[in-house]
Amino acid sequence: EQTTEGRQTAMLGAWARDGSSKWTHAIAPGSSRNPVIRASGHAIVAAWIQAEADGTENVWIGSWGEDGKEQGTRTCVAPASTTTWNLNLAFNGSEAWVVFDAATSTRSSELYAARVDASGVRPPLRLTRDDGATYLNGLAEALTKLGFSCFDDRSGTEAGRLPPKTLFRKIRNCQTF
């Protein structure tokens, strides 16, 4: 949802086959955007970018049951930036992997991967070099070395696609730049 003032709210919901709404609600309090929603077993898992009260933005993850009731607590994954638009979510067994771009401590937007499991959030791995160019400029070369494949459709919505599950082991043990 987006208000006429431009405030965005990421929404989650379920609908019956006839199109009637079973339930809907905001994923997070306040301003949130760019949700990625995936199913894992009987859980609905979402990652999103949330604007905080202090003006910063963070990537968050949460889980809901098929009935829309929250399972556990929402978890802050890592800092994001106002230029963070690309966000993806995948599973490897009981682990969730969140891939996103951010320009928080780097000269330009770089690509990160964070692993979330029962023990919490692991520090995100920066997957692209902090060379002053956006990660889109060097993304294919940097990620090809790690076994990723990716592309950019110029709108930014197709950059940084997650690799097949068999490549998660490579990410887990890779060197950060």
Q: What are the pLDDT digits (tens) for 124-166?
A: 888 776 766 555 545 445 555 554 444 433 444 444 444 444 4
**CA angle, 90 as apex, 108 and 161 as ends, to 5°?**
45
Mention every residue, 6+ apart, whose C-beta is less than 8 A from residue 86: 99, 100, 101, 111, 156, 157, 159, 160
Q: Which has more pLDDT, 116 or 171?
A: 116
- Which residues are CB-contacts of 127 (< 8 A; sequence separation ≥ 6)? 110, 111, 112, 113, 135, 142, 143, 146, 148, 171, 174, 176, 177
pLDDT of residue 132: 61
pTM over 0.85: no
Q: 162 versus 32: which is more confidently predicted? A: 32
In our burial notation (b when 16+ CB lie closer than 10 A, e otherwise), range 124-162 reads bbbbbeeeeebbbeebeebbeeeebebebeeeeeebbeb
| Average confidence score pLDDT of the chain | 76
For residue 143, the 8-state DSSP code is H
